[in-house]
Amino acid sequence: MKNFTVYPIPNTKQWMHGLVNLRGNLIPVYDLPMLLGLSDDAMKHHNLLIIDKGHESAGILTEGLPQVCDMNGWAKLSHVPKLPVGLTECVSDAYSKDNVIWLRFDHKDFFTNMMAAVAS
């Protein structure tokens, strides 16, 4: 998405930017680098990647727009590289293509685990 408005939620963590209204559905918007402890500064990007649909949707602030990837020729790695805490449990496979590591990421498990940790 481009040109979206995020409505902040009071008393939430800094990585939880708020909610965006997408065709009548309220979608939570996250700053993933901040959530994973990779950055202390909030993202100021104007792109929002919506993952999934309906009540399982989540929005992630991004630097650029997503691109289609053809997985032909990708090399599956024998093990998943070391990842930030909270992400390891949600990545099942890792691949390499042109010296870039790509991860098979289970976003449903990630956001379920993350919300459970926040609630506890």
Which pLDDT score is estimated for 7? Answer: 93
What's the domain count of the chain? 2
pLDDT at 82 exceeding the cut of 70: yes
Average pLDDT in the 64-84 region? Answer: 87
pLDDT in tens, 20-65: 999 888 999 988 888 877 777 776 777 899 999 888 889 998 888 7
Please report, for the domain that includes residue 4, its CATH number: 2.40.50.180
Containing structural domain, residue 29:
1-64
Which pLDDT score is estimated for 93? Answer: 92
Are 58 and 81 within one domain?
Answer: no
Are 3 and 55 within one domain?
Answer: yes
Are 54 and 90 within one domain?
Answer: no
Are 101 and 117 within one domain?
Answer: yes
Are 12 and 55 within one domain?
Answer: yes
Label residues 9-27 b or e (16+ Cβ within 10 Å = b).
eeeeeebbbbbbeeeeeeb
Are 1 and 59 within one domain?
Answer: yes
